[in-house]
Structure 1
Amino acid sequence: MERYVQTLEYLKTAAKRGSKLGLERITELCRLLGDPQNETKIIHVAGTNGKGSFSAMLSHILRASGYVVGTFSSPALTGVTDSFRINCREISLNVLDWVMCDVIPAAESMDDKPTEFEVLTAAAYELFRRVDCNVAIIECGMGGDTDSTNVVESPLLSVITNVALDHTAFLGETVRDIARHKAGIIKEGRPVLYGGTDLDAFEVITVAAFEKNAPLSVTDHFRTLGTSTGINGTEVEFDGFGKARVPLIGTYQIYNIANVLTAVELLRREGLDIPDEAIRRGLSETKWHGRFELLSSDPVVIFDGAHNPDGIRQAAASICQCFGGGKVALLVGVMADKEYGLYPSILGQYVSRAFTVKPDNPRALESSVLAREFTRAGIEAQSFTDFGEGVRAAYSYAKESGLPLIALGSLYMYSEFCEELGKIGVQ
């Protein structure tokens, strides 16, 4: 058996341990590895939405500036190695195995065995130490204070992209509750950036920064002087930086770009050399999957991982912006613990017909339940027990009617959705 196969089998075993909040296990695991998280300059990123796009843009900018950049993100969209990137390129299974050969024995020596995400987090920190990354961008998995990524003692910069309602069963029922968890990544004396606009979250983060003597900066979104977004990308003019273009689409990318450019200013103060030309080049080269991503042009097929209230509202705004408020075909699959009734209530005015599917995940909502929500709202809907059949039906309808196909919901269905598109010849 190939060694990387053994690595994948071990991760399946670790996954059965479920998800556990708390830092006890990851702290012990990192200690057994020699605390690699404290040997690389870390940019730690929390937030309800925008973490992935923010990290992708910033990593491309830093690479264009000449740095060796590591990135750790979740969830993995196409396979476990998709969570790990060096200079914006996904690592191979052999590289993952090279790191896991030390991580697995350390994990198995522990009385309280770590979860899959804790193992992957430790592997990321160990990987970035081994390849001598100049800087690494680490995304929180959920929350902040008890997320397993939060073992960094002195980050180069902490970033909270925004705060909105999501994971309420774990993080609390209000924005203030959730903000307290996000603010847990703020460290003593280290700079922090808040990129959101919610005032309740701002108050919580301000107090946390004051208590930690951490310099707090807030993105001034009024510095965005002009914007243009469509299915070919997003252009922004940001005061102090001029115009920039990103291939990523979706109205929310305008906010993400402002956050990234503000972060660049803070990183320059911390001694990083980031030329203006590297900023423009890095943004223009940015690629990121699953966030209002254009997968086909004829017919237009877009996938967006809108799975919480703020994400669904942003998806609606993007549909309106890109397609002039016209109708679209909608394919949706979501986890049962999400506010799935918001899909028809927020998106209903744009939906010609909805096709509901069940992602391949034990927490997924039955497609028939989701279809009923659309039907109750007066929207024609079809549910499918076979995921591939649902994708084919939605695609055929979009092609025959000349409408864009928008696939929304769980990022866990991204890989399967792309695979089904490939089967019907969409490249």
Structure 2
Amino acid sequence: MTCSEQTSSVAVDTADHKQPPATGGRAVVIALVLATGTAVLVGAEFVPAGVLPLLAGDLHVTEGRAGLAVAATALAGAITAPTISSVLPRADRRRVLLGLLALAFVSNVLVALAPTLPLLLAGRVLLGVAIAGYWSFTFGVGVAITGRPALISTAMSLGTSVATIVGVPLASVLGDSIGWRGVFVILIAATAASWLAVARLLPPVPAHPGAGSVMMRQALGNRRLMAGVAMIALAAFGNFAAYPYIRVALQAVTPSLVTVLLVAWGIGGLAGNLAGGWLSSRLRLGVALAPAILLVGLALMALHPSTVVVALAVVAWGTGFNMVPVTTQLWVSRVEPKRVESAVSLQVTAFQAAITLGAVVGGLVVDHRDVWTAMAVGAVATALAAVGFAVIRLVPRAD
């Protein structure tokens, strides 16, 4: 089966029970609407990395403990992703997406008002549920409406890239002027705008006829898929053992260029997003290359011999990591073309579980050693992911 045939099989399997696919400009609009939701949710997930010193100081906790604001979100996501389709097997997917965006709105309100770390973490748990559900359903929703998996995967990763280009550096700048709580107020408004866009522009999308626990059990029986999910978890762990502490690292090397280098990370992310889409016809190469580039960035950060090297490391880091979601999402959908919703849910689970573990391990390393050791830990994990993906064959499941 060729790559184009694999892509077609995914589209047909996801959309054959719905209305004819949207075409042309309407397909692009749908993709952009879904990408906007992704950008808002991912921005909310990782904004703490841009305001970590401020958040830690205001709540009177260490920066390692403040990093749990990322871990709590990811833990909730790891639990939610593999179960939400079973809880909502027949719910209209447009309504589900609207409910998840509403949950993110409530989360941001709670975080903006939280007087203590435990209350803040409670709000972040709600965000984890929203993110995991949105990521699990959006790919299938987008393909059902447009019939174009590569467009939807690229759009979702583009939303992630925009969130990192704009969200983290902008949060860093705004946090210094209006406070970290003010940043979350802005996120509240952005989440409301995304909800309105989805409500206005997306048509109803019925659930896949086979969605639910049976589909998930069948996907779990695909050993090649599960091996890939393990590699996804390694790549994500490697990134998130270090990413919540990126601002701490940059301030230690070059305090005056922190915002510039955060933007450089995001620009690298945009390049990685585009590269991941370009490699959609060579996915075995793409899924191995992404963690390999991430490895280079983290290894150079761990060494940090000069500002120039750190700048190059940041760009490589952003490029490699942002290739991972788009290439792996397409990879799992091609390995398991008849159970795409469950396959993507497992990808999301791997990401969120790895974010949780990565943030916790990274926080412990930062508190007990230093931020550079956290970068080295991440580099080792991404090296294993690159090697693993290089040896796993990309063969779609036939049954």
TM-score, normalised on structure 1? 0.23
Say which one has the larger Rg.
1
TM-score (norm 2): 0.25
Q: Which structure has the highest strand share of the two?
A: 1
Q: Which has the higher contact order (CA 8 A, sep 6+)?
A: 2
**Which structure dedicates a bigger proportion of its chain to helix?**
2
